[in-house]
Chains A and B, each alone.
Chain A
């Protein structure tokens, strides 16, 4: 029993949640508790977007050193743009738009892995080159007027159920699915094994290439879904809508306690880190810092968190 408790406290995600709670309290203290519900709802909504892309990125990072997907922001933008264009403000097309997004994610994921596998390009460069091409397609497709999302979809993404934002519920369901996938299926064991030692994984007969392909597809599909939701939430797709999610998707994964060296991942940490990243910015806003100081403090806080938590998660 005692050992179990110690096990819990040694979990890396504890730290991101502790940091989140501290930041939340500090922010609410300033406002005197007046807006604590609004703050929590906003945090859940915006964290949800980071969580969705973060989960995809986490699966990729788990694959081991060098695995990372830089095409996430471009995929989000293209998916949002194309889906809204296809739906064309008709409620009946909502599902079709979602299917298009998922299909696009499949295509991007396969494209990424083809570059990585066939051309032996390091994933960073492969996904970067891919993102250039996707970005161009998005620029080309984004010509003309800004198209609004269908009303039903816009309502869904901006409203709450029992006080919890719908987007957060979607992200929660996706996280639960990802957790099952990671912890309870053979696929989850495979990606951890590949991350710990690709060579050993290959020797034991794990289909390394197939598993990696599925992982890159999974990441791109999650980015697509996130782009679809984000474009609907913000009333239209914009070309730069994904840009902040490049660094965000990596930051939430690592702050959340997933080992950058691969082979070890955890999903609760992504929630903690996403909430934390949003709350830090809103805390600094509440205290009236200018843009410059806000950036500096955000950076220092990220480093401080990783500094405190970092030594525990690495047992190299």
Chain B
């Protein structure tokens, strides 16, 4: 049986997730339950959504450094406007998504570096969030709370949500013609252009789609935490980039994997729980997270080499 390179790309992140999960179960057998799994992966849902958003941007060879502040902004909107007057909240979200599309257009038209434009936007989103919620507060809309804390039979909500996100984005990015175009822009802009497609429209659409997923991330986050503040998701910028890379994605060339990205986000979340089970001193928690990141990537390199050696034989 021939295994496609895409499957191999997925195998490694999946293996590292299972390895980490086994280690957690070994140290804390009680985690091997419905509630345990739910607690372990609860916070992974918003991170997975943000990672998918980042993955879309990376699919067109850009990078979004405003992801964390934008998700924080969305969380603030969810906890204030979306809760008190849903119509206004939805309107704000629609304009935010339009703003994302506009960013894509500006970056494309002026050939600007996406890093700097999104860096500038991170100040804008941060400022808007501070204006809305100068101090932590707000309240989660009932339905978001219900959705995130609901308890489906047998499988915890966090797992169901992750699978749904992974499959939905997989079909959107890997199986639909729109997805092919998005990845095509990352792979070879000129050939997409020559084939008669409007690259500017594709880029605007990709950015809007990324904005949409980031909005969902903000709503999911508030559904879990019940309130928001302007700095609630700042670390999502780096987490989302790390998640995409852990999941087998690459910075250039439109090589991304939606299922991998979700797995990457789960791995990062699990790494946090793993460390607290290890009883590592809080001083070293961040450092150990860095070490885990390095180990997983080293593992990936090792397996890649192994695979190459098999091929050359």
Which residues from chain A contact B125 at a C-beta distance below 8 Å? 299
Task: Assess the A132–B251 pair: CB atoms within 8 A.
Answer: no
Name the distance in Å between A85's Cβ and chain B's nearest Cβ: 15
CB <8 Å contact, B301 and A136: no
Known pairs A122-B251, A306-B112, A307-B110; A250 contacts B283 (CB<8 A): no
Most buried by B among A124, A126, A136: A136
Judge whether A136 and B288 touch: CB under 8 Å. Answer: yes
A42 interfacial contact with B, CB 8 Å: no
B120, A299: Cβ atoms closer than 8 Å: yes
CB-contacts of A107-162 with B (<8 A): 115, 119-122, 124-126, 128-137, 139-140, 143
Asked whether, in the complex, the Cβ of B251 is within 8 Å of the Cβ of A66, the reply is yes
A99 at interface (Cβ–Cβ under 8 A)?
Answer: no
| Chain A residues within 8 Å of B65, by CB | 247
Residue pair A130, B290 in contact (C-beta under 8 Å): yes
B122 within 8 A of A: yes
Q: Are B112 and A310 in contact (CB under 8 A)?
A: yes
Asked if B112 and A125 make an inter-chain contact with CB atoms under 8 angstroms apart, the answer reads no
B124 touches A125 (CB 8 A): no
Does B180 reach chain A (CB closer than 8 Å)? no
Q: Which of B113, B120, B129, B297 has the most CB of A within 10 A?
A: B120
- Alpha-carbon separation in the docked complex, A86 to B124 (Å): 41
Q: Are B131 and A292 in contact (CB under 8 A)?
A: yes
Within B88-125, the residues touching A (CB, 8 Å) are 106, 110-113, 115-117, 119-125
Is the beta-carbon distance between A66 and B252 smaller than 8 angstroms? yes
Q: How far is the CA of A257 from the CA of B81 in the complex (A)?
A: 40
A82 to chain B, nearest CB (A): 15
| Chain B residues whose C-beta falls within 8 Å of the C-beta of A295 in the assembled complex | 123-124, 126-127, 130
The residue that A65 contacts in the complex, of B120, B124, B252, B294, with Cβ under 8 A, is B252
Q: State whether B111 touches A310 (Cβ < 8 A).
A: yes
Which of chain A's residues have a CB closer than 8 A to the CB of B120?
299-303, 306
Which residues of chain B come closer than 8 Å to A186, judged between CB atoms?
none
Please choose the segment from B19-27, B160-168, B203-211, B237-245 that sits at the chain A interface, where 4 or more of its residues have CB less than 8 A away: B237-245
* Given A295-B126, A307-B110, CB of A139 within 8 Å of CB of B286: yes
What residues on B are CB-neighbors of A260 within 8 Å?
113, 115-116
Q: Is A311 an interface residue (CB 8 A)?
A: yes
Nearest B-chain residue to A301, judged by Cβ:
B120
How far is A298 from B251 in the complex, measured between Cα atoms in Å?
A: 28
Q: Is A255 an interface residue (CB 8 A)?
A: yes
Complex interface: chain A residues within 8 A of B119 (CB): 247, 250-251, 302
| B251 engages A133 (CB within 8 Å) | no
Is there an interface contact between A132 and B124, defined as CB atoms closer than 8 Å?
A: no
Residues of B within 8 A of A294 (CB): 127
User: What CA separation (Å) do A54 and B112 show in the bound complex?
Assistant: 20
Inter-subunit contact A119/B301 (CB<8 Å)? yes
| Residues in chain A near residue B287, CB distance under 8 A | 132-137
Please tell me if the beta carbons of A302 and B294 are within 8 angstroms of each other in the complex.
no
Interface positions of A from 268 to 305, Cβ below 8 Å from B: 290-303
- Mask, B275-294, CB within 8 Å of A = 1, is 00000000111111111011
Contact assessment for B115 and A136 in the assembled complex, using a CB-CB cutoff below 8 Å: no
A316 at the interface (CB under 8 A from B): yes
Query: Is A76 positioned at the interface, with any CB of B under 8 Å from its CB?
Result: no
How does the 8 Å CB contact mask read for B245-271 relative to A, with 1 for contact and 0 for none? 100001110000000000000000000
CB of B245 within 8 A of CB of A125, answer yes
Shortest distance between the CB of A242 and any CB in chain B (Å): 14
Shortest CB-to-CB span from B22 to chain A, Å, is 22
Q: Which of B128, B285, B290 lies in contact with A296, CB distance below 8 A? A: B128
A133-B280 Cα distance, complex, nearest whole Å: 14
Q: Could you pull out 5 A-B pairs where Cβ atoms are within 8 angstroms?
A: A125-B297, A136-B285, A260-B115, A296-B128, A302-B120
Could you tell me which B residues sit within 8 Å of A by CB distance?
Answer: 65, 106, 110-113, 115-117, 119-131, 134, 238, 241-242, 245, 250-252, 283-291, 293-294, 297-298, 301
Considering the complex of A and B, which 5 residue pairs feature the smallest CB-CB distances, nearest first?
Answer: A136-B287, A132-B290, A299-B123, A295-B127, A296-B127
